[in-house]
């Protein structure tokens, strides 16, 4: 479900018409629906309620501190992958007892920062990390809690750049050798292995990888316990897919049906790290058409959002629905089911102003005719949109607005030219 809908042919976010927001805040503009975001968080909380999970919002997905605060206030914790993300989690009101820390390359300073804040555990991905953590914990006079992140070596399940549980990627401990490694950690004075972690990849549109991952995980937990580790947590990571195109994603209940019995069998507390599922369809990117042109037998719609605002289409060949915010009377209604060649549309490349041929939001896309000045909405842009944005071509990063019913608030202002050069030294 999302709360973006056309009313009298004008796209609204909840009760706010998007043209009014574009007028007030300019474009490109990320617009988030608070009630969509909370609805998705609640769906996960409800589906997994029988095992009372710790739902740690994966902050990398959209780190705006206002969104994080909202999630924390509604019961979520945080999955962080850097000191910067931990800083944001704390700034959003988060406290260590709802924070887990992942990532293959945590520095000593990051490990110390996590320890100082008494986080639930570190997802540890290598032997080197475990012993570095032990040293840092010793010097801090603490004992670090750890979940071993294992790579369960499953068949490919999503885009190669975001598949984290196939053999040969940098993530996790090798499932074939993890037990030998765990044996060496049994008597560590400053590290306690309390959990098992796996994040399978993102986005995942089937329950099968979770079923396969769990099977391997349960077996490992048994063996870790035999070694003498007190395993209290099973962290199944994130990865739940969303509807980018049509109704391709599964509801949270489908994942729960597979994961909940496994967790009960393992007698563990469940941790989840969802990101995209919560915030992906809670956001759209609103842009304005600057020019249209025909060249080389193609029709180009040049608008003011670019690869620096939403890099997913060019980086992962991702599909994002795009439709005019206010289609003129007589133009086709936004399709339920997105197929090429709809009557009244024309195949277009939707591109931005950045100096790269890879700068596009969509290629060969059926779009109603649009003109200079028209607004476009790129859907499902709440996850990994702003989070992966940059200043490439010295473009100012977009503003972000949060809508709640008929209210809207700016939660990140548009950058200024001064912001661009502020960290640079005058020499």
Clarify whether 68 is annotated catalytic.
no
Catalytic residue among 56, 68, 268, 355: 355
Smallest distance, Å, CB 141 to ligand LLP?
A: 29
Smallest distance, Å, CB 77 to ligand LLP?
A: 12
Of 238 and 352, nearer to ligand LLP (C-beta) is 238
Smallest distance, Å, CB 153 to ligand LLP?
A: 17
Smallest distance, Å, CB 407 to ligand LLP?
A: 27
Of 16 and 68, nearer to ligand LLP (C-beta) is 68
Of 175 and 366, nearer to ligand LLP (C-beta) is 175
Smallest distance, Å, CB 102 to ligand LLP?
A: 4
Of 110 and 273, nearer to ligand LLP (C-beta) is 273
Residue 296 backbone class (left: φ over 0; alpha: ψ -120 to 50; beta: rest): left
Closest residue to ligand LLP, judged by C-beta, is 238
Smallest distance, Å, CB 159 to ligand LLP?
A: 7
Smallest distance, Å, CB 199 to ligand LLP?
A: 4
C-alpha 358/C-alpha 47 separation (Å) is: 40
Closest by alpha carbon to 287, among 4, 27, 103? 27
- Annotate the chain with three-state secondary structure: CCCEEEECCEEEECCEEHHHHHHHHCCCEEEEEHHHHHHHHHHHHHHCHHHCCEEEEEHHHCCCHHHHHHHHHCCCEEEECCHHHHHHHHHCCCCHHHEEECCCCCCHHHHHHHHHCCCCEEEECCHHHHHHHHHHHHHCCCCEEEEEEEECCCCCCCCHHHECCCCCCCCCEECCCHHHHHHHHCCCCCEEEEEEECCCECCECCCHHHHHHHHHHHHHHHHHHHHCCCCCEEECCCCECCCCCCCCCCCHHHHHHHHHHHHHHHCCEEEECCCHHHHHHHEEEEEEEEEEEEECCEEEEEECCCCCCCCHHHHHCCCCCEEECCCCCCCCCCCCCCCCCCCCCEEEEEECCCCCCCCEEEEEEEECCCCCCCEEEECCCCCCCHHHCCCHHHCCCCEEEEEECCEEEEEECCCCHHHHHCCCCCC
Of 276 and 365, nearer to ligand LLP (C-beta) is 276
Of 37 and 370, nearer to ligand LLP (C-beta) is 37
- Binding site residues, ligand LLP, CB under 6 A: 58, 61, 79, 102, 162, 199, 202-203, 237-240, 273-277, 312, 316, 383-384
Of 122 and 323, nearer to ligand LLP (C-beta) is 122
Catalytic residues: 355
């Amino acid at each position: 479900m999302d709360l973006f809908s056309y009313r009298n042919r004008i796209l609204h976010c909840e009760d706010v018409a998007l043209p009014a927001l574009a007028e007030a805040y300019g474009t490109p503009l990320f617009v988030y629906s608070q009630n969509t975001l909370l609805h998705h968080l609640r769906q996960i909380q409800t589906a997994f309620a029988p095992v009372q999970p710790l739902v740690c919002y994966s902050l990398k997905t959209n780190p705006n501190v206002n969104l994080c605060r909202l999630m924390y206030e509604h019961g979520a914790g945080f999955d962080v992958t850097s000191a910067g993300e931990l800083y944001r989690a704390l700034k959003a009101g988060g406290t260590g007892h709802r924070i887990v820390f992942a990532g293959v390359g945590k520095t000593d300073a990051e490990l110390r920062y996590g320890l100082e804040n008494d986080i639930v555990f570190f997802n540890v991905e290598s032997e080197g990390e475990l012993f570095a953590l032990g040293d840092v914990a010793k010097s801090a006079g603490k004992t670090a809690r750890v979940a071993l992140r294992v790579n369960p070596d499953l068949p490919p399940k999503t885009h190669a750049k975001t598949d984290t549980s196939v053999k040969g990627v940098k993530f996790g401990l090798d499932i074939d050798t993890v037990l030998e490694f765990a044996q060496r950690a049994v008597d560590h004075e400053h590290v306690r292995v309390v959990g098992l972690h796996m994040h399978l990849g993102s986005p995942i549109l089937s329950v099968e990888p979770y079923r396969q991952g769990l099977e391997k995980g349960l077996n490992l937990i048994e063996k870790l316990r035999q070694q003498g580790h007190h395993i209290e947590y099973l962290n199944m990571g994130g990865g739940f897919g969303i509807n980018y195109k049509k109704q391709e994603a599964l509801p949270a209940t489908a994942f729960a049906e597979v994961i909940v019995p496994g967790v009960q069998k393992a007698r563990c507390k469940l941790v989840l790290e969802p990101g995209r599922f919560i915030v992906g369809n809670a956001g759209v990117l609103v842009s304005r058409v600057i020019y249209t042109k025909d060249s080389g037998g193609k029709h180009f719609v040049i608008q003011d959002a670019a690869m620096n605002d939403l890099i997913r289409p060019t980086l992962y060949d991702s599909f994002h629905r795009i439709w005019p915010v206010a289609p003129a009377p007589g133009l086709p209604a936004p399709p339920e089911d997105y197929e090429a060649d709809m009557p009244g549309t024309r195949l277009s490349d939707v591109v931005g102003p950045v100096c790269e041929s890879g700068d596009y939001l969509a290629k060969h896309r059926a779009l109603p005719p649009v003109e200079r000045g028209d607004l476009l909405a790129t859907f499902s842009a709440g996850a990994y949109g702003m989070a992966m944005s940059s200043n490439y071509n010295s473009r100012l990063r977009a503003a972000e607005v949060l809508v709640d019913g008929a209210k809207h608030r700016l939660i990140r202002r548009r950058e200024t030219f001064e912001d661009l050069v502020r960290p640079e030294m005058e020499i």
